[in-house]
Structure formats: C-alpha cells, structure tokens
A and B are shown apart, each in its own frame.
Chain A
Amino acid sequence: MDLAALGLTLRLATVTTVCLLILGTPLAFWISSARTFPRRIAQAAVALPLVLPPTVLGFYLLVWLGPARAPGRALIHLIGHPLAFTFSGLVVGSVLYSLPFAVQPLVLAFSHVDRNLTDVAATLGASPLTIFRRVILPLSRTGFLTAAVLTFAHTVGEFGVVLMIGGDIPGLTRTLSISIYDQVQELNYSAADRTALLLVVLSFLALLLVYWRSLPRESGLV
C-alpha cells in the first residue's frame, strides 16, 4: 500500500471539498434563485466536467496555467512558480473537475426550499442573509452533505486530470488512482488489488452515507 499516495489523496479530497463548498454555495444559490438565461449558461458550464473527458480539462489547465499563456504567466508572476506538477495545481484541477458534484446537489437543495417559507420569513423582518442562514441553510443540510460526500469521493477517484496537471511525482502529486496505474504497470497486481479495494470501500461508504442521510428522519424536518 502506497501510504504517501493515500495521505496525499485524502488531503487533496479534503482541500477540494472545503474549497468547493465555499465557492459552490453562492454559485449554486445564484443559479437556483431565478430562471434567467445567464444562470442557465452558468449551470451548463458547471456541468461541463460531467461530459468532457478529464484529459481535455487537464490539457487546457496545463496549457492555460503554464508560461505559454497570459493567465499562466500572471499566475507565475504572482506565486513565483507554475501550478503544473504541484499540489496547488492538483487542487485547482480537482476543484474544476468536481465542480458539478458540489454545485448540482446544492442547486437542487436550494430549489426545493418552499418559496412560501422564504416569503413568510421576509414578512417577519428577516434580511436575505438571515433568511439564508436561518431558513435555507438548515433546510438544505442534506444537499450540503451530498455535495461534500460526492465531491470528496469523486476527488479520491480522479485520474485523468491529476495525471495531466500533476504528473506522477511520489509524495507530491501521485494519488491513489495513479498509484494503482503504476502498480499495474509494474505487474504488482496484489498491491494494485489492495489499493483498488480501498478505493471501492471508501467510495461505497461515501455513497452509503449519502443515501442513508437522505432517508426520512425522526427529527423536526418533514
């Protein structure tokens, strides 16, 4: 078992999940709050990673964040080094690649909050921020859990994007999925078997948590 790859994968999945919950919440709320054309464009753009091959996203990131293009040069000027083949680069790639897994459950959760509840809250003197904090957020808890678990699990299983943007540097950018690929290349099937089983178990537990939490509960929520 490649413990360094396991640690790196868990760290990458955690950082990606936190980043996406922070970035995805306002984006999902904006998308869900009205049916306008710009919001539909944003929703389609967010969903793109679901249909694009990961290598396409990885390729564009590699090119646009590298020294050959202006955004990449600006970034290099800002942080002092290119993002490619670094942990930060992996995070950027993972955030973009897992965006729909965070945003779509949140859009769904926000859309399902009864509009009458937010209307009544407004007549009770609540500001939009208070309505979000005291009504929408607690009623969207399952959506947040789903977004977090799916993002985490999806990031754990990433291969194409991380290989394209991060390469295969042990301890720095080699994740579990890349480790399996290496082990198979080295014909070390028993190690690949153990690593693959770990990924299966992690993914299954994550999905089990989502489905278990989405069952009706005995709490105050109807």
Chain B
Amino acid sequence: MSNSQASVAPPLWHHHRLQLRTTLGALALDIDLDLTTMWTVIFGPSGSGKSTILRALAGLLPNTNANLIRQDDDRNEHNLTQLPPRDRRIAYAPQQPSLFPHLTVAENVTFAQRSSSHSMFSEQNINEAVKLFRLEDLTHRYPKNLSGGERQRVNLARAFAVPNPQLMLLDEPFTGIDRPLRDAILSDLRSTLLSRGIPVVSVTHDVEEAFRLQPEVVILRDGRIVDQGYVSKVLADERLNLLNALR
C-alpha cells in the first residue's frame, strides 16, 4: 500500500472526536468532528474557526464547552476533556511560532523532552527533528537571529520532538517556508509520521498543499463544518479554480 492510500484509508475509527460549542467574540462555533484518517486538513476562510479547533484539541480553550474523546488501538475510549494540555500527549505547532526567545534553537527543540516528567531524553529523536526540518546549521542561534521561515521550521521541529504524541496539530505549518523546501519537508514529515502512526490535523489555505498530503479535508465556514471527505472530492472546485487561474 502506498503512503497516499495509507493516509486516505481509515486505519483507525475516529482516533479522536471533538465536540465544541462555544462563542468566541463574534464567532459561534458548533463543531462535531470525528478524526478518522491519519492526516486531516481543516480548510476554510480566515475567521472561520480553524485555529480555534486546534486550540480546543490542544486543551488551550479552558472554560469552553469542548469535549475531546480519544480512542485507543483497542477501541477503548478515553475522555481527555478535563486533562490539562501537558497531559494530553498532543503536539502542537501554533501559527505564530512563539519560540522561547531566551533559548537557542537546540534548546527550543529539546524543550519538551527536558520539561516533561513522563519522558526520557532521546538524542535520536532530537537529531531526527533537527535533520527533518533542516536545522543543522541553526542549532546555536537565538530566535531573534532567524528569518520567518527558519522560525517556522524550529516551531515545527519543537512540536515534532514531543515524546510519544498521540496526535499532532499543525496550524498553517509552512507559512514563510519557500516552496522547494516545503515540498521536501512535507514529504519527509508525512512519511515519518505515517510510519510512526501519529495522526495529524493541520490547517491550511493552500489547495496545492492539501492535494500533496492526500488527506481527509474538513471545510469550515462561520464556525460550522460544511463539508468533509477526501481531498479530491471536497476541494475539486477549488482545484479547478486554481488551474483555471493558471491558464
């Protein structure tokens, strides 16, 4: 089975299920989201609630009505709703890199392993993150000396280095990263996460990026899911519009 087939076929039955009903500012969210495939892309216009869904999954929306259930390999359900972010085993790379300014790139990437009481330090895991996101020459630099794209790569590497995550959340993960590098990293990241069996939810505006990942796509509008399905079906119109624009 190829990787693309592996990502579309549902190897797990809703590994996570999110129910989110809340109002944040002018946005009323009413979400029932079953995550069933290894890569799910949330697609939608700005302000539709994409990032809010990731924050809810990560446990960063306290005092909101957000229920999160995890199903393990034996189909047992675990309610994560009351768990704080540190105990959810969910790696999260936010849209704004938010790197720790007082730590070097290497220290940022190793933060999770050095902070979590649940994990042993794994040099191999860190080296893999540094290599995958092409950070070998940047490890001793501080965030203020990095370009936007470099900061974004550190942000991704830091989330990737979280020990034994059960879910990975990537919010506009390739903002500011040039296209050839993005394609190379995307390919490596996708195959690595698939081989480790770590499901991913990512947010993107980029139709091409969505098609490269061959994910299940969730279309969000005004805080509601308006469509959900395979990328070739759900984003067919957007793809056609893109192709027409290029002619």
Contact = CB atoms under 8 A, between A and B. Distances in A.
Given A122-B60, A123-B92, A221 B102 contact: yes
B101 A222 contact: yes
Interface range on chain B (Cβ under 8 Å from partner): 20 to 34
Interface stretch (A36-44, A59-67, A133-141, A149-157): A133-141
B53 to A, nearest CB: 15
19 contacts: A114-B98, A116-B96, A121-B115, A122-B60, A123-B60, A123-B85, A123-B162, A124-B86, A124-B91, A124-B112, A125-B115, A125-B163, A126-B111, A126-B116, A127-B117, A139-B102, A219-B142, A220-B102, A220-B104
Contacts of B94: 116, 119-120
B230 interface: no
A214 interface: no
A117 interface: yes
A193 B115 CA distance: 55
Given A124-B112, A125-B116, A220 B86 contact: no
Nearest to A137: B102
A142 to B, nearest CB: 12
Contacts of B92: 120, 123
Given A134-B115, A222-B101, 20 more contacts: A119-B94, A121-B111, A121-B115, A122-B84, A123-B59, A123-B85, A123-B90, A124-B86, A124-B116, A125-B163, A126-B86, A126-B111, A127-B86, A138-B102, A139-B101, A220-B101, A220-B143, A220-B144, A222-B143, A222-B144
A217 B102 CA distance: 12
A137 to B, nearest CB: 10
Question: Most chain-B Cβ atoms within 10 A of its Cβ — which of A116, A122, A222?
Answer: A122
Nearest to B114: A134
Contacts of A117: 98, 100
Question: Most chain-B Cβ atoms within 10 A of its Cβ — which of A123, A124, A138, A220?
Answer: A123
Contacts of B191: none
B119 interface: yes
A190 interface: no
Contacts of A134: 111, 114-115
B126 to A, nearest CB: 13
A124 B102 contact: no
Contacts of B59: 122-123
A125 B92 CA distance: 11
Contacts of A114: 98
A123 B90 CA distance: 7
Contacts of B85: 119, 122-123
A114 B115 CA distance: 19
A130 interface: yes
Interface in A68-123: 114, 116-117, 119-123
